[in-house]
A and B are shown apart, each in its own frame.
Chain A
Amino acid sequence: DTGVSQNPRHKITKRGQNVTFRCDPISEHNRLYWYRQTLGQGPEFLTYFQNEAQLEKSRLLSDRFSAERPKGSFSTLEIQRTEQGDSAMYLCASSSDSSSYNSPLHFGNGTRLTVT
């Protein structure tokens, strides 16, 4: 078990460009979550998956954001036509089927996006 892996660790892009992030969860975990975090704030929920099914997408997200988990393993988060306000840390986390003491969220180290 190597934990949750996110790539890249850092991404600098120009406004208007598209970016894609990847998350590899812990292998036996069915649940996968994406959060966005800015300085001094808690993680903000973006979306989550049960296996390959996307269960909910935050209403805060515009149509520029899309996430997939095609085979129920790794996931990608794409941001189209990036804006400076998209600059943040994007965190991925995974867990087993249901929340419990034995199944907390395990977070990756995040992808820090800077839009110039």
Chain B
Amino acid sequence: GQNIDQPTEMTATEGAIVQINCTYQTSGFNGLFWYQQHAGEAPTFLSYNVLDGLEEKGRFSSFLSRSKGYSYLLLKELQMKDSASYLCAAPNRDDKIIFGKGTRLHILP
């Protein structure tokens, strides 16, 4: 089966760095996604990792370790607009995509 775990909530300060962790179990690994979801809005795509290592995209980076079933999303130079839920999602070999419960990130001024 599939299982995805991530922290429920995190708090960080504007301008700081925060790391949101995700552990997963899937039947047939087929990459790992991160999505951002602001309150009342649809999720939007942030990143996709299929190989081990760090993928950097501006202020956001995502890391994957397939052997450990572990990923993290790193947000740098936090801005107030980064206050949102961050969703970890993993497709299995049949592209059934399962989401974690999401991590609500609160940014303090």
Chain A contact residues, CB within 8 Å of chain B: 31, 33, 35, 40-45, 48, 55-56, 91, 95, 98-101, 104-110
Residue ranges of B at the interface with A (Cβ–Cβ < 8 Å): 30-31, 33, 35, 41-45, 48, 50, 85, 87, 89, 91, 94-102, 104
CB of B91 within 8 A of CB of A99, answer yes
Instruction: Please give, as numbers and ranges, the residues of chain A lying within 8 Å of B85 by CB-CB distance.
Output: 42
B35 to chain A: which residues have CB within 8 Å? 104-105
Q: Find B45's partner among A45, A55, A105, A108 (CB 8 Å cutoff).
A: A105
Q: How far, in angstroms, from A101 to B89 measured CA to CA in the complex? A: 13
Give the top 5 A-B pairs by smallest Cβ distance, nearest first: A107-B42, A104-B45, A42-B99, A99-B91, A42-B102
Q: Taking CB as reference atom, which chain A residue is nearest B33?
A: A104
A43 to B91, CA, bound (A): 13
Q: Is A42 within 8 A of B96, CB to CB? A: no
B96 neighbours in A (Cβ, 8 Å): 45, 48, 55-56
